[in-house]
Structure 1
Amino acid sequence: MRAPREPKVKPPNIDAYDGTTDPDMHLLVYRHHMYVQGITDSTWCKYFPGTLKGVASKWFERLPAGTIRSFLELELLFSTRFMAHKEEKKTSMHLSRIQQGKDESLRSYVKRFNLEAGHIPDLPDGVVFDNFIRGLKKGSFKFDLVKKSVRTMAEVLDEAEAFIHATEICSVPKDPRGKSDRAPGAAGQKRSRAYDRERFEYNTDMYTILMDAGSKYEIDRPFPMKSPPESRDPKLYCHFHSDIGHDTNECKSLKRALDGLAAKGFLKSYISRNTGGSGKPFYKKNKSPPSKEDGNRTDPECVAVISGGLAAGGPTMRGQKDYAKRLG
């Protein structure tokens, strides 16, 4: 503490620590401030007492002279003294406690699960995936994941986002006059499907639409990318995800979000034409009465169907059943 004061050092502009919260979090914030200044170890020690107050400040003043010879020693003393206030270190066991509520929406469950998983460092993707599936209640979405042999959290989040957008589009109030936005088919012709996902072509790029529509309409933010940052192209940036990896105009999540707004009657000035369904069954009639267990359903008249290949259990019915049982 007797070392000379360095010139041009900015005192840390952080909240003072009073001894009632996690000491390691205070140390982390302090380090972030001091790192950018590139100063000596003795200066780190000299400025630290100024970030304390109350009980913590009194503790420091009572330390015997010569106790601290480096900032590393000061960190250890400080962290040990207030260790009773440290936050519990969460592990994968905490994820196993997260269950989707009976009346909880899929969007709410995904956000809650991701928030909890973000507090646990170095989680293997397989552990995150298994716990997510285990906590997911039975319903259309869980069935679709098994059917599509989804194996990673990145795939789960992509499917979840598509399912949620499909649900929102399907819940658009019907025209009270019974009219449809689509041109009527030939007389007497029966539709094989109640709904096809509406697809739109736009007269300008999606980035421009996002910049304009984002200030006018409420657009739900996409789920974060789950692929490792080092595996993505740093030259490509998505303004919808606020992350690197792909271009805004190539973002599938943004396309779904804009199509959802367009299906509700917005973005009319940007629509060049409605291409109708994709040609693939995205919605179909649910011939059986809706199950009470199925909390991840779309509108009672339509169920989102995500097409896919063989289930993860292989080509046999026995293998598929075993895989479904393993996922709960």
Structure 2
Amino acid sequence: MLQGNFKELGVARPYPSEWDMIPYHPKFKPLNLVQFDGKGSPTQHIYYFQAQTRHIVGNDPIMTQSFNSTLKGVAFEWFCRLEPGSIQSWRDLERLFLARFFDDDTEVSMATLLSEKQKKTMSVSDFVKRFRNRLLHSRDQVSEATLVEMCRNNLSINILSKMDAVKARSWKDLVWQGEQVENMLKRINVEEPQESQPKKGGGKSNYNSQKQSKGKDTLAVETTSSLKSSTKQKGNTFDNHFQKKYDFKDEHVVSILTSLIKMNKIKLLEIKRNAEVSRTDDPNFCMYHRMVHHPTKACYILKDKIQALLDAGVMTLQAEQKKVSVNMVSL
């Protein structure tokens, strides 16, 4: 609580100074209320505050000092700058608060929503939340599917250009797709600079002998022939990733994943769509994501992990599995 803070700091209080001497009840519990920073609804803040302080209704000094502890940022600065003597009762504070901070009930048109673009510093999740909050002030009758697509088209070009052509069916889908792109972009920014650095020890050694010397587990389909190093695309653009080459065939992705699961060398991703987990017969079902979105053999996230395990020597392949395939599918 902030009881006595103004007295200790020597600043003028907007309420009577003797209020600082009134103690809280011994059984008084701190309020469980999100602090108001000048944003959001001041009316709702007053409502929630009064709902938690019914036991002290009529005790203006405690009501006032309890309320100032629920303010922060510009809202608390406003309270500190109130004229001395401007608050003589809780009603005075409530009136001044609602006069300074007010609900934004300005109607939002479709044209306004269309101009609502994602900023570079804003995540997909935060942008979608902001967009949906703006929708609350719109009276236009538009289907959710249309609004989701509108929000999707308002994402930054950097994000939108990397997203899959498959339309998001819900707000949750849209956030998930956007976060997949964000995560991949972060990964590329981290990994590309490392790959561009020259490797120590210029000599090439037999791939299989190196892997066996590490004592790593291998698949039952292990071969004694050496594997060629995978061709890595240079540059830090997302498009280069789409042309990444792998040391295995697409048609063997499912069998490789199955083997890795049995060997406890890979963990499946968290289930995002419970209703689709059992739709394994769908041609667009991904075993790694456990959802209907793209075939398992076309999942570049899974293929990247398999390639990483190959490069680390955790597994090797049979000769018939070694064929470069180019990924052209995105999430």
Q: TM-score, normalised by structure 1?
A: 0.40
Q: TM-score, normalised by structure 2?
A: 0.39
Larger helix proportion, structure 1 or 2?
Answer: 2
Q: Indicate the structure (1 or 2) with the bigger Cα radius of gyration.
A: 2
